[in-house]
Structure 1
Amino acid sequence: MRDRRYGRWATLAVLLCFALLHQADRLIIGPLTSSIMDSFHINEAQMGTVLSGALVTGGLLFPLWGYLFDRFSRARLLAIAAAVWGATTWLSALAPTFGWFVASRAATGIDDASVPGAYSLLADTFEPRLRSKVYAVLKMSIPVGYVVGAALATFLAPRIGWRRVFVATGAAGMLVAALVALFVREVPRGATEPELVGASGASPTFRWPVARRLLKRRTLVALYAQGFLAVIPINVVTFWMYRYLETERGYSGQASLSVAVVTVAGLALGLPLGGALGDKLFRTTLRGRLLAVAATIPGSFVLCAALLVPVTQPVTFALLAMTGSFLTGFAAPNIVATISDVSPPEVRSTALAMQSLVETTGAALAPLLTGIVALRISLGTAFLVLIAGASVLWIPCYLMALRSVAGDIKQTRAELRGRASTSVDVQMSIR
């Protein structure tokens, strides 16, 4: 038992390292945007195609990765994904022209679609009662990775150039691939589900009929719809924040980094607190995790309020941005945990991949739309329109998921108990 506990925390630590460094590599292009635009002599709309390219590639590959993770060893596939991350990032560093750079950055999206495998593996490594907290730890890689990437861009890029920064982050991918191969072990699917206690030791296998039935879960359909909208604000801020601070608010590189750190610090605090709150409420009601997600609603409007703060009040702007990010951070771990709660173990990667596909579609459009609006009006207007519009449309989808989640969780648990009962009956008949 002690070895198992050590092994699961080692798995979480390595996957956190994977996610953290991968997010730093993925998000570092935001702080490097101005340097890259100057290097290739391009405008905001052209840069928007670069930012969206990797998201489109990842989105197209999510269904394939989800299927592979449900059929084969998730640990081995994650090691392969890390190696692909390193190789494609090196290609970005070597790109001689803007066209080659667009293609190489799009190729970095191949490994972005591996995220559902990590969540699925952790769902079978830790008990359901801990899922939101465990997912929150992994989700913290996004804000922390952004800070790491921003720091690398701010302090290294002026000294060694943006290309060598990509060389360093590509090397990190190769190192992580080795760590995953050495320390992350595969576990049976459904190993931590209480309803499967007493069932045969065979891991449930992927079945197309079960995968197709996922779309009959009203909660999943509603969460997929809200996922498309929910990622638009965060991707607008993630990829264009540095450019916005430099051009719209006139901040220096150091000042931009300070505001970015404060903003993502709010998100980094909101993720674990939101996850802990979701797990606590879940023990009282099956709607508990989605009730915690409600904090996103005031958080989105606080972010919009920050954009209206005059340039002469940088402290107020930073505090509002931090508060809004803190509240919106409550959503991510609880939504991923809810998808795991309503999905059978053998198709959980597929369910998560479908969510990621929808989210990536919204994420891919966000940078491009921002660039187009910024070119025609202003970057500040693009921020306000996209963040406010997506937030308002998100609310009905969230309310539909909140209404149906309890029934869908009960249905999934009943199916798992039925399998366990059938397995026990078969074993008794054999004896």
Structure 2
Amino acid sequence: MGRRYRWLVLAIFMSFVIFHYADKLMISFLTPAIMNEFEITYTEMGMVLTGSLIVASILYPIWGYLYDKYSRTKLISLASFIWGLTTWISALAKNFFNFLVSRSATGIDDSCYPGIYSVVSDYFKPAERGRAMGLLYASNVTGTILGSIISLYVGSLYGWRNAYFLTGSIGVIIALTIYVLVKDPQRGISEPELESFDKITQYRISKENIINVLKKRTLLLLYIQCFSAMFAWQVIIFWMFSYLVNVRGYPNDEATFLMIVLMILMTIGYISGGTLGDFLFKRYRRGRLLLSTIIVFASAILITLTIYAPSNDVFQIMAVITASVIPMASANVIATINDITEPEARSLAISIHEFFGNVGSSMSPLAAGIIADMYGLGIAIASISSLAWVICGIFLFIASIFVVKDMDKLRSLMRERAMIEKRKVEVEK
């Protein structure tokens, strides 16, 4: 594939991530209007948020397997269409039960991301994947910002239903765009040993692949660290705005502005982290994971210093530094999964990784809420996030010990496949 085309593919996937995240997170801003219309309680509204999370968690491994078995781009296109359809249905809901079911159904497409990461890994060489993954992760934050804008303007002026009609329509348009424009690359074609071949044997996920994904030591360590990492992340995402308003005393508009500034810095952090990871990986194969280890340990220190800042001026300075640093590990972890997993099993490996993260995300807000009621919200955020990141850093460091051996196994397998392809070419001549 041409260099320009692969960047077009990445841009299309980034558009998917941006608008999909905007649709997912708009509900945080639209909650008051939805609760008023359906006359529901906080518990009932919480059921909506939990419902989609449960559906997504259950479907992550299923999506991962299907991506490795069938056409990834067609399945991503289907996921985008499901996003549009379920969002439209939720906008048409006449009562709370219909809304609960339709919004829970949006969890079906929430678990589609492993396929995107897998396709991108076949468009970008190993030494370039960190930056590509960083751009995809940065799109998450961009989508969050866009979701707040759509909610505040479209939702406020035209109602929450029209906000969902807008994002649902975009989902259908992106589905058609992916179906028409994005080609599913040959699995493994970007690997150094195979990139010189025009056509290679297409491998599909097998029982052996599934066993490897479930028992490879580096992968198991990365799965566990994802649970811990997302435990920390979700506490910050879920509670930080309340902390700014209720503990730090920021007015709503100032807190919103500060959150947007911090999210922009996080966007830069995702991209710079992935780019730096690529730079280190070219020189030292453990570079990505060692960088990630340093980042998460630093994050544990920075979040503690930020929360316990003696004044709001010092808090803002520390928050700027922390927001720039804490995202830098994410893209490198996903790139590492691609570095050690067979091309035909990468979607499944990433889906299991995301499953662990989803479980961690679902548990942390409640844990923080319990600690906040006992000791205060600031202590809850600082203690949970710092402890979770320290645990995460320990697992990342241990993973860095084993990662080279797993990389060597993959490179050996790719060399074997390259020899097979070379013999096939010689026979055809």
TM over 0.5: yes
Q: Residue 111 of structure 1: CA displacement?
A: 0.5
Partners of 1:169 and 1:258 in 2: CA distance: 23
Q: Residue 185 of structure 1: CA displacement?
A: 1.2
User: Given residue 51 of structure 1, which amino acid in structure 2 is its aligned partner?
Assistant: L
Partners of 2:239 and 2:159 in 1: CA distance: 20
Question: Who is 2:288 aligned against?
Answer: 289
Q: Residue 323 of structure 1: CA displacement?
A: 1.7
Question: Who is 2:125 aligned against?
Answer: 127
Answer yes or no: is the 8 Å Cα contact 2:307–2:315 preserved in 1.
yes
Question: Who is 1:79 aligned against?
Answer: 77
- Cα distance change on mapping 1:196 and 1:135 into 2, 3 Å: same
Question: Who is 1:358 aligned against?
Answer: 356
Q: Residue 181 of structure 1: CA displacement?
A: 1.8
Partners of 1:319 and 1:57 in 2: CA distance: 39
Partners of 1:236 and 1:161 in 2: CA distance: 29
Question: Who is 1:150 aligned against?
Answer: 148
- Cα distance change on mapping 1:89 and 1:306 into 2, 3 Å: farther
Partners of 1:300 and 1:278 in 2: CA distance: 20
Question: Who is 1:88 aligned against?
Answer: 86
Answer yes or no: is the 8 Å Cα contact 2:296–2:393 preserved in 1.
no
Answer yes or no: is the 8 Å Cα contact 1:30–1:238 preserved in 2.
no
Partners of 2:343 and 2:131 in 1: CA distance: 19
Alignment of 1:239 onto 2:238? yes
Question: Who is 2:306 aligned against?
Answer: 306
Q: Residue 39 of structure 1: CA displacement?
A: 5.2
Q: Residue 50 of structure 1: CA displacement?
A: 3.2
1:278-305: CA deviation from partner (whole Å, max 9, x where unpaired):
0010011110111221222212332233
Q: Which secondary structure state, in structure 2, belongs to the residue aligned with residue 124 of structure 1?
A: helix
Larger displacement relative to structure 2 (399-408 or 416-425) = 416-425
Question: Who is 1:347 aligned against?
Answer: 345
Q: Which secondary structure state, in structure 2, belongs to the residue aligned with residue 32 of structure 1?
A: helix
Q: Which secondary structure state, in structure 1, belongs to the residue aligned with residue 283 of structure 2?
A: coil
Answer yes or no: is the 8 Å Cα contact 1:27–1:239 preserved in 2.
no
Partners of 1:212 and 1:417 in 2: CA distance: 21
- Cα distance change on mapping 1:101 and 1:390 into 2, 3 Å: farther
Question: Who is 2:266 aligned against?
Answer: 267
Gaps of 5+ in 2: none
Q: Residue 236 of structure 1: CA displacement?
A: 2.4
- Cα distance change on mapping 1:51 and 1:249 into 2, 3 Å: farther
User: Given residue 270 of structure 2, which amino acid in structure 1 is its aligned partner?
Assistant: L
- Cα distance change on mapping 1:118 and 1:372 into 2, 3 Å: same
Answer yes or no: is the 8 Å Cα contact 1:30–1:241 preserved in 2.
no
- Cα distance change on mapping 1:372 and 1:25 into 2, 3 Å: farther
Answer yes or no: is the 8 Å Cα contact 1:51–1:368 preserved in 2.
no
Partners of 1:379 and 1:167 in 2: CA distance: 36
Q: Residue 137 of structure 1: CA displacement?
A: 0.9
Partners of 1:75 and 1:25 in 2: CA distance: 21
Q: Residue 417 of structure 1: CA displacement?
A: 0.9
Gaps of 5+ in 1: none
Partners of 1:50 and 1:240 in 2: CA distance: 18
Larger displacement relative to structure 2 (38-47 or 171-180) = 38-47
Partners of 2:128 and 2:168 in 1: CA distance: 33
Partners of 2:37 and 2:233 in 1: CA distance: 26
Q: Residue 378 of structure 1: CA displacement?
A: 5.1
Which of 33, 53, 57 in structure 1 is aligned with 2:55? 57
Partners of 1:76 and 1:403 in 2: CA distance: 37
- Cα distance change on mapping 1:390 and 1:275 into 2, 3 Å: same
User: Given residue 405 of structure 1, which amino acid in structure 2 is its aligned partner?
Assistant: V
Question: Who is 1:387 aligned against?
Answer: 385
Q: Which secondary structure state, in structure 2, belongs to the residue aligned with residue 30 of structure 1?
A: helix
User: Given residue 297 of structure 1, which amino acid in structure 2 is its aligned partner?
Assistant: F
Q: Residue 370 of structure 1: CA displacement?
A: 4.1
Partners of 2:373 and 2:202 in 1: CA distance: 53
Larger displacement relative to structure 2 (365-374 or 110-119) = 365-374
Answer yes or no: is the 8 Å Cα contact 2:299–2:389 preserved in 1.
no
Sequence identity percentage: 34
Partners of 1:373 and 1:98 in 2: CA distance: 31
Larger displacement relative to structure 2 (92-101 or 22-31) = 92-101
Larger displacement relative to structure 2 (367-376 or 341-350) = 367-376
Partners of 1:382 and 1:43 in 2: CA distance: 25
* TM-score under structure 1 length normalisation: 0.91
- Cα distance change on mapping 1:233 and 1:27 into 2, 3 Å: farther
- Cα distance change on mapping 1:366 and 1:172 into 2, 3 Å: farther
Residue-pair matches, total: 427
Q: Which secondary structure state, in structure 1, belongs to the residue aligned with residue 284 of structure 2?
A: coil
Larger displacement relative to structure 2 (45-54 or 188-197) = 45-54
Matched ranges for 1:36-47 at <5 A: 36=34, 47=45
- Cα distance change on mapping 1:280 and 1:204 into 2, 3 Å: same
Q: Residue 399 of structure 1: CA displacement?
A: 1.4
Larger displacement relative to structure 2 (12-21 or 383-392) = 383-392
- Cα distance change on mapping 1:276 and 1:198 into 2, 3 Å: closer
Partners of 2:46 and 2:372 in 1: CA distance: 10
Partners of 2:92 and 2:373 in 1: CA distance: 28
Q: Residue 428 of structure 1: CA displacement?
A: 5.0
Partners of 1:179 and 1:240 in 2: CA distance: 36
Partners of 1:160 and 1:251 in 2: CA distance: 28
Q: Residue 383 of structure 1: CA displacement?
A: 2.6
Partners of 2:329 and 2:46 in 1: CA distance: 26
Larger displacement relative to structure 2 (251-260 or 96-105) = 96-105
Matched ranges for 1:327-342 at <5 A: 327-342=325-340
Q: Which secondary structure state, in structure 1, belongs to the residue aligned with residue 73 of structure 2?
A: helix
Q: Residue 223 of structure 1: CA displacement?
A: 0.4
Partners of 1:303 and 1:180 in 2: CA distance: 39
Question: Who is 1:411 aligned against?
Answer: 409
- Cα distance change on mapping 1:234 and 1:340 into 2, 3 Å: same
Partners of 1:321 and 1:99 in 2: CA distance: 40
- Cα distance change on mapping 1:302 and 1:52 into 2, 3 Å: farther
Q: Which secondary structure state, in structure 2, belongs to the residue aligned with residue 221 of structure 1?
A: helix
Partners of 2:252 and 2:423 in 1: CA distance: 67
Answer yes or no: is the 8 Å Cα contact 1:44–1:371 preserved in 2.
no
- Cα distance change on mapping 1:9 and 1:27 into 2, 3 Å: same
Partners of 1:187 and 1:390 in 2: CA distance: 37
Question: Who is 2:110 aligned against?
Answer: 112
RMSD between aligned residues = 2.5
